[in-house]
Amino acid sequence: MDFSVAHELPGRLRLRCPGGSFTQAEGAVIGAILETQPGVTAVTASHRTGSLLIYYEEDAQGEVRRSILTAVGLLDKTFYEGIDGSSLIPQGPSLSESLTSLFGGVIGRAFLPRTLRYGLTFLRSLPLLGRGLRSLLLGGRLDVSVLDASAVGVSLLRRDFRTAAVVTTLLALGDLLESWTHKKSKESLADSLALNIDKLWIRREGQEVQIPMVDLRIGDFVVVRAGSVIPVDGVVSEGSARVNQSTMTGESEPVHRIPGLSVYAGTVVEEGELVVRVTAFDSETRIHKIAEMINESEELKAAVQNRAEKMADAIVPYSFLLAGGIYLWTRDATRATAALLVDYSCAIKLATPLAILSAMREGAKRGALVKGGKFLEALAAADTVVFDKTGTLTVSAPSVAKVIPFQGYTREMVLRDAACLEEHFPHSIARAVVKQAEKEGLSHREEHSTVEYAVAHGIASRLRGEKVSIGSAHFVFEDEGVTCTPEQQEIIDRETEKYSVLFLAIGGRLTGMLCIEDPLRKDAFDIVKRLHEVGINRVVMLTGDSLRAAKNVAETIGIDEVQAQLLPADKTTVVKGLQGAGKMAGKVIMVGDGVNDSPALAAADVGIAMCAGADIAQAVADVILSENRLHALIDVRRLGTGVMEKIYRNYAFIIGANSLLLALGLSGAITPAASALLHNLATIGASIYSLTPVLDNDRGKS
């Protein structure tokens, strides 16, 4: 079986297999096979994302890990294809079945004789008591399990079987609702993006044929009609249609797709018909990668979530101290039990991750794919946003505005030689040069030697026996040592005020310059203004362009600070410098899209990449804007601040409600059973609030 190691922690491996490697039933068989390997403790196979999550016992020599990787590599379809593994898939009762069983047992026991009823109460308490003892004696932890076991144990010792029965039932109900709510929240987040398509129609040799999804290939032409889900990422080759892209971008209105425009898997054709040339399918589609990212998102917990979990367990010893103090003061075991039945821990532990999962789902609907809770927290704490100019604040399709020749060269010669070199580099400016040459019908032969490319500097080679270089002023004049005349410098100074410029030098002489028009995004001014409105104190623009050209752009759209003529390493240095200078913990957001932006994206507290950017930029980024729509940046900032406000409001409610219940229990105003009931209701209320949307109720504001 083909696989790669997607993520690794001590005693834990996540392997990624190609999409469609196995079905759900086959995944269960694979898991069962791997669990027979020495040292493997558990295996979870996800057919949706093609992942294998393997837990194992570490050894000093790493033999267990090596044997696992060897076993997975040897697995092929002959081991598991056609085997019915449905019986191995954990089914588990539904929520309604579990609730019926729980309350049905309560009602049934009410009609039993008292002695038998008390005996059943004791037996039902044993798992809870055992869990508490294991946590205390084996784990050395004084946590919520110990607290719950103590409350039930005290009731049993006092022969208060009614309280013990009620508390045991309510704790079981709380565990059931906690498990179900958390599971459904995470599943709905990933499943809302998952595709379940087995067959599709494609056009081959002028005819339409239906094929299984597994037989699809890159370059095939898929036919999608009104009412159908687009099953692939691709480019429209024929037809016209209105496509609902809400699953990818959050746009409420369908968009018009015509030949040459991109479409994405998981979006829906509402009107019309399209023939789509496949560029990605199955595990390579954007929507699949979203689901895959969500599947692994809990590995990137927010600090607030980790703090909540630690705080929840840290509160437990104080509950014991309070209960002990109350008993010593009043000698009333009922009041002391009340202190054990009301804890702050379970609500805090449940509500915080639910709020984060809900916010991530909301972000995905709005076109902002957040890779983990800790990045939502950093988005809320940020006070600085740094933009790379090209492809981010400007449109990703620059064009050649002027070609200025020097040293006896003609305009056509400069453009032809520049295109001959630039066609080897997949950058938006390089594409603009090649496109302009094609537009003017300037064909060229490969006359140069091996191309050497320096990131964000330029290209060097040999052409017709002479050294040739093309790139920025820094690269051509400083690195390559090319000089220019005063007349040439005057022209350069004039043009760099308005354009980004590429310089071409042959044989050590400046032979021409290409002025690149890099139009600003129409919404750039509004985005900068909105960033200030949502609490960003400083908006910075980084660029490799000349300072004068950069300042013109900054003044046009309201940028606070500009740093120009930067190399990739310089951008990273700037980001790190800003991290120590912020007013709110120095959190810095970096927005970029190119290969040369990747180091800065990785260095920032939150790296945000445009979906049309380079693959490496998307790989290192913490947030991906799934459509080239900068307004999603405002949404994701507001989402971060909104979810943090929700978490802290939940804290206030949980502490306030449980403190009130504690006071009522200690005063004797309510019984321990009533205290437990109200405590569980407060936990459920906090969880429901955690799942409410942050932004969906004010869509018109964003």
Tell the burial category of 67 from Cβ atoms under 10 Å away from its Cβ (0-12, 13-18, 19+): middle
Q: What is the crossing angle of helices 524-533 and 631-667, to 10°?
A: 20
Domain parsing of the chain, residue ranges? 4-88, 96-195+292-367+639-696, 199-284, 373-395+521-621, 399-517
- pTM, entire model: 0.58
CA distances for 445 relative to 268, 413, 419, 421, angstroms: 45, 13, 11, 11
Catalytic residues: 388
pLDDT digits (tens, 9 = 90+) for 478-523: 888 898 899 999 999 888 877 888 999 998 899 999 998 878 888 8
CA-atom Rg of the chain in angstroms: 31
pLDDT digits (tens, 9 = 90+) for 664-683: 877 778 777 777 778 778 87
Can you give the pLDDT at residue 107? 66
The mean pLDDT of the chain is 77
Supply the CATH classification number for the domain 199-284: 2.70.150.10
Q: How many CB atoms lie within 10 A of CB 209?
A: 10
Question: Residue 196, CB half-sphere, CA atoms under 13 Å: how many?
Answer: 6
CB contact at 8 A, 375 and 587: no
Can you give the pLDDT at residue 298? 45
Can you give the pLDDT at residue 700? 39
Question: Residue 164, CB half-sphere, CA atoms under 13 Å: how many?
Answer: 24
pLDDT digits (tens, 9 = 90+) for 310-339: 666 677 787 788 788 878 888 877 777 767
pLDDT digits (tens, 9 = 90+) for 38-87: 888 888 887 766 788 888 888 877 888 888 898 888 887 766 665 554 54
CATH architecture of 399-517: 3-Layer(aba) Sandwich (3.40)
Q: How far is residue 260 CA from its own chain's centroid?
A: 28
* pLDDT greater than 80 at residue 350: no
Q: Which of 286, 384, 377, 364 is nearest to 591 (CA)?
A: 384
CATH architecture of 373-395+521-621: 3-Layer(aba) Sandwich (3.40)
Q: Which CATH class is domain 4-88?
A: alpha beta
Give the residue with greater pLDDT, 130 vs 93: 130
| Cβ within 8 Å of residue 22, ≥6 positions away | 30, 45, 47, 50, 80
Apex CA 580: angle with CA 575 and CA 586, to 5°? 85
Q: How many CB atoms lie within 10 A of CB 291?
A: 22
Percent over 90 (pLDDT), the chain = 12
